[in-house]
Amino acid sequence: MLAFKALHILTMFAAAVAFLVGESTFIAIAIWRGDVRALAAIRRLAGGRPIVGSALFLVGIGFGLLTVATGGFDFLAGWLIAAYVMVVALFAINALPVVQKGLLGLIQRAVEAAAGQRPSEEVVSDMAAFRSKIVAVVAINAALFAGLILDMVLKPF
């Protein structure tokens, strides 16, 4: 149980903090600043989709479930139900068209503009129109991850 718990903590922090929240924060900053080259650079560095962070997140969920199964925890404890709800909310928020089509499309247009295939001014205009949406998505994701961390540590229910 202790090994699964340690692996759960390590993969979730690697996924949530280092990869998913970190990448989305840098994307939001680039969009907020209207920095086409920075947004394209983030795509070059991180890839098209957050594969590593998402994979670690799923592996972390698996280790968490193994921890519950082997550690004598009740799968229906209030704090675990709260965690399940927050994880489902994370998946739901990030599956929304604003993320899957809007954000990924904007990032692709930034890559094209950085390569000289599209006017940068057009992408800067798209970024300005997208600012409030990306801030909302990043803020909701960060709040959900913070809620998960607090839920896991404090076990309030």
What ranges do the domains of the chain cover?
2-154
User: CA torsion 147→58→31→141, rounded to 10°?
Assistant: -20
Q: How far is CA 95 from the centre of its chain?
A: 11
Local confidence band at 46 (pLDDT 50, 70, 90 cut-offs): confident
Give 50's pLDDT tier (boundaries 50, 70, 90).
Answer: confident
Q: Rounded to whole angstroms, how far apart are CA atoms 138 and 13?
A: 17
Residue 150, pLDDT score? 95
Residue 51 pLDDT > 90:
no
* Angle at CA of residue 31, ends 99 and 24, nearest 5°: 50
Contact 77/157 with Cβ under 8 angstroms? yes
- In this prediction, residue 18 carries a pLDDT of 83
Confidence of residue 53 (pLDDT cuts 50, 70, 90): confident
DSSP state of 9: H
Q: Are 31 and 106 in contact (CB under 8 A)?
A: yes
The reported pLDDT for the residue numbered 92 is 96
Question: What integer pLDDT is reported at residue 52 of this predicted model?
Answer: 83
Query: What angle separates helix 120-154 from helix 36-46, to the nearest 10 degrees?
Result: 50
Report how far residue 2's alpha carbon sits from residue 122's, in angstroms, rounded to the nearest whole number.
53
Angle, alpha carbons 34-37-43 (nearest 5°): 105
Q: pLDDT-based confidence at 112, cuts 50/70/90?
A: very high
Predicted TM-score of the model (pTM): 0.88
- In the chain, the percentage of residues whose pLDDT exceeds 90 is 83
pLDDT (tens digit per residue) in 86-109: 999 999 999 999 998 999 999 999
Q: What is the pLDDT of residues 117-146, one digit of tens each?
A: 999 999 999 999 999 999 999 999 999 999
pLDDT at 49 over 80: no
Contact 19, 45 (CB under 8 A): no
Question: Residue 95 corresponds to which tokens in the numbers above?
Answer: 């599956």
- pLDDT band at 73, cuts 50/70/90? very high
